[in-house]
Structure 1
Amino acid sequence: MHALKKNRPLRRIVPAGAATVSAMVLLLSLKPHTSPTPATADTKSPSVSSSSAPSGGATSGPGTVGRTVTGDTVRTRWGPVQVRVTVKSGRLTDVTAVQYPRDNPRDQEINGYALPQLRREALAAQSADIDMVSGATYTSTGYQRSLQSALDSAGL
């Protein structure tokens, strides 16, 4: 056998090995999205429940009674979403996100700009008929559904 033919398999092994090592380094450098924690693990909201019972009866002036209603907890792909509304004189006066995905920096970034927009939309529309926020589709959908359940419980 000729001396060059013996070296040819080695010429193929070196680039194949380098390609395999490069592919492994690229695969190991990918960081997967962490799975959200269950809704029961949220300790920041003591009144978290899936029922929509009115709570409170604060007054804000003579003859004007306000009440606060918490909407249903809506499970989304990235975590639970729940809102609380305040109604005074038949009008929506405040909307607060009680639960929303915030387990990682990306969730915090998305919801940092989405929740204020959704709140403004809800207060302007005085209903759950609000626009979605681009890039926060799951949060927007959960927000709308929880808002609608709160408004239904409040009688609006």
Structure 2
Amino acid sequence: MRRALLAITGLAAGTTALVVLKGAPGAGQATPDVPAALAPVVPGGSAAPEPPSPTGSAPGVTPSPRASAKPTPKPSADRSAASRGGTRTRTTPAAPRTTTSAPKATTRTVTGPSVTYEYGSLQVRITLSGSRIVDATGIGLPLGGQSGQRSDDVQARYSGTSGEVVARQSANLSTVSGATYTSTAYKQSLQAALDKA
């Protein structure tokens, strides 16, 4: 796509330069000799004098259609501009800009309510990109002792960017063995966070 855009831009620039150089007076091109009968009308209403007819007819007599070799061309805009001493430039429109990147999904964080259970209380915070869960973590889990061990097991299974929450994209999680109360509280807070999101 970028190569095509560069090729179009280069072609447009080259064409513009060629038109400007071609139309500029004294640009090195000789003006072709135009027969007086084909010369453009000079501004002011006077026309060039008629040359003698090749068929020998008198001036002012229109020759027959068979005698005329070429139709009289109309003066072009570039030739008439050059005869007035001005230059004429043509501009080409720029190529339209295109974007190739897709719009980025917005990332937001939603935190579920604090759920109290037999060993303490916890909350679950999820991060979403668009409508997809990309991260999850438990907050306020008990530390130390038997409760801390259960909390660590639940965090290891459910939380993180590669945890079960991200894999399943729901609160329908399997219960961690030996941490039933902590697992249930985690799933309740997670479901509430998903409902908010």
Q: Quickly name the TM-score band, shorter chain normalised.
A: 0.5 to 0.7
**Which residue number in structure 2 is paired with residue 106 of structure 1?**
146
Distance in 2 between residues matched to 1:63 and 1:112, nearest whole Å? 34
Deviations 1:96-147 (A, max 9, x none): 1112122x32122222222110221111110001100010111100000000
Which one of 85, 108, 131 corresponds to residue 67 of structure 1?
Answer: 108
Runs of 5+ consecutive residues of structure 2 not aligned to the other structure: 1-101
Q: What is the CA RMSD across the aligned residues, in angstroms? A: 1.5
What is the match of residue 168 of structure 2?
125
More helix by share: 1
* TM-score (ref. length: structure 2): 0.45
Q: How many residues align?
A: 93
Alignment counterpart, residue 85 of structure 1, candidates 126, 136, 145: 126
Task: Provide the rounded CA distance (Å) in 1 between the counterparts of 2:115 and 2:158.
Answer: 15
Q: Residue in 2 aligned with 1:139?
A: 182
Greater relative CO (CA pairs within 8 A, separation 6+): 1
Structure showing greater radius of gyration is 2
Q: CA deviation at 1:62?
A: 4.8
Q: Which amino acid aligns with 2:150?
A: I
Higher strand share: 1
**Do the aligned partners of 2:108 and 2:129 also contact (CA within 8 Å) in 1?**
yes
For 1:64, give the aligned amino acid: A
User: Which blocks of at least 5 consecutive residues in structure 1 are unaligned?
Assistant: 1-60
Structure 1 CA distance for aligned equivalents of residues 118 and 150 of structure 2: 14
**SS class of match (1:64):** coil
| Identical counterparts, % of pairs | 41
